Amino acid sequence: MKEPVLVTRWRLSGGKLPLFGRHMKALGARKIDEQALSPEFLGWVKQHIEWTLQPASQAQKDGVLMLVMDADGKAAMSLGPFEPLVKKKKGAEQNSPVSALLLRAAQAKNEAEKTQIAPELIWAVQACDKANQAKTERENESDSTKEKTKEHDCVVLIGVSENVALSGANSLLVDLAKTKGYEIRFAPELLENVKGLMADAEKGEGNPEAIFKEIFLVSDEHGVVPGKSGSISTFFSDGYQKLLNHVAEK
């Protein structure tokens, strides 16, 4: 094969593809040289996954399915092991350096400029303008009610434009956010804003944590990867893991 013009990496669970429908929708939204992928190619991918994935993935049941296509339209699928960005230590998940997540998000942004879809996006949680008012209203509430209200005073920012198609994992997280009633804002400037704040912090001129309560990456391959974790990113991570577990148990 020649130099790849399209590469996707999708997480498996129990030898199955948990976000199959979402991944296929996102694949159909991709373009190469401003040309949509052909129905024949999409049909081949769908058929290959439905017919051969599970028996072929017995050695990599919880691995990664990689799809590659070159400029001539030649395509291949392969299976490989899943290697987490952040390894658990003593049963507790560790945060990944925010700088590393920003680098991955920047690389995915470059990919999106060529194919229309970013497989990884940076997300952040920011207190909304009504937080101070809500804080006053919470003063006489119970502790449990206060905590619940605090969460819903936050704004979830997604580092992409609203009119852009989302990858499978990112579309899932948007739907999960809606089930909790979180306020969602699409913010294409988010990546550069966080990078700028990090650069200022290195000079001792700012503190990103004063603006963003949580920063995390959402990836087709890695799911939810926390840089600065909190209750909202934990909710997303738990929801994603529940889906993987559910699919594996079928």
Return the biggest CA–CA distance within the chain. 66
Q: What is the pLDDT of residue 16?
A: 94
With 90 as the cut, is the pLDDT of residue 225 above it?
yes
Tokens of 105: 């998000």
Please state the rounded mean pLDDT for residues 107-135.
Answer: 81
CA distances from 131 to 35, 145, 247 (A): 45, 15, 38
pLDDT confidence band for 136 (50 / 70 / 90): very low
CA distance 204 to 232: 28
With 80 as the cut, is the pLDDT of residue 148 above it?
no
Domains in the chain (CATH in brackets) are 4-80 (no CATH), 97-249 (3.20.10)
Q: What is the pLDDT of residue 133?
A: 43
Give the contacts of 147 (CB within 8 A, at least 6 positions apart): none
pLDDT confidence band for 135 (50 / 70 / 90): very low
Please state the rounded mean pLDDT for residues 110-121.
Answer: 97
Q: What is the pLDDT of residue 55?
A: 80
Q: What is the pLDDT of residue 231?
A: 93
> Is residue 13 a contact partner of residue 248, using CB atoms and an 8 Å limit?
yes
Average pLDDT over the chain reads 87
With 80 as the cut, is the pLDDT of residue 189 above it?
yes
Instruction: Reduce the secondary structure of the chain to three states and give it as a string.
Output: CCCEEEEEEEECECCECCCHHHHHHHHHHCEECCEECCHHHHHHHHHHHHHHHHHHCHHHCCCEEEEEEECCCCEEEEEECCCCCCCEECCEECCCCHHHHHHHHHHHHHHHHHHCCCCEEEEEEEECCCHHHHHHHCCCCCHHHHHHHHHHCEEEEECCCCCCCCCHHHHHHHHHHHHCCCEEEECCCHHHHHHHHHHHHHCCCCCHHHCCCEEEEEECCCEEEEEECCHHHHHHHHHHHHHHHHHHHC
Question: What pLDDT digit, counting tens, does each position of 66-107 carry?
Answer: 999 999 989 999 999 999 987 766 555 567 789 999 999 999
With 70 as the cut, is the pLDDT of residue 150 above it?
no
Q: Are strands 154-158 and 183-186 parallel, antiparallel or unpaired?
A: parallel
